[in-house]
Amino acid sequence: MASAARKKIRVMYFAWMRERIGIPAEMVETSALTVGELVRELSTRDDRYALAFSDLASIRVAVDQELSGFGHALDDVEELAFFPPMTGG
């Protein structure tokens, strides 16, 4: 079993995710293997993160600017974004 390498990922937040967490983006160093693992890591940081990530059904995730899911692996990922369902048009 390969040990999980530490990696640096740019994490972005939009709309009410940005407002709840309080910042638009940050560099995160993690050994999480999937988006879901990273979310659990972030949620334990403090109440703002815990609240922002409390209802995953209302959160969408983009991996390197492509819509994706919480099961997506983090290998070679440079940019992650979390946001509510989109409301353009």
Partner 1 sequence: MTVRLQEEDFDVSVEAEALLGGRDDVGALVTFVGIVRNRDDGSLLSLELEHYPGMTEKALGSIEQEAISRWSLNASLIVHRYGKMIPGERIMMVATAAGHRRDAFAAAEFLMDYLKSRAPFWKKEHTTTGSDWVDALPEDERALGRWADDA
Contact set with partner 1 (CB under 8 A): 12, 14-16, 18, 62, 65-67, 81, 83-89
DSSP codes of every residue in 18-43: HHHHS-SEEEEEE--SBHHHHHHHHH
User: Residue 18 or 72: which CB sits closer to partner 1?
Assistant: 18
- Nearest approach, Cβ of residue 1 and partner 1 (Å): 34
DSSP bridge partners of 71: none
What's the length of the chain? 89
- Nearest approach, Cβ of residue 71 and partner 1 (Å): 19
- Nearest approach, Cβ of residue 85 and partner 1 (Å): 3
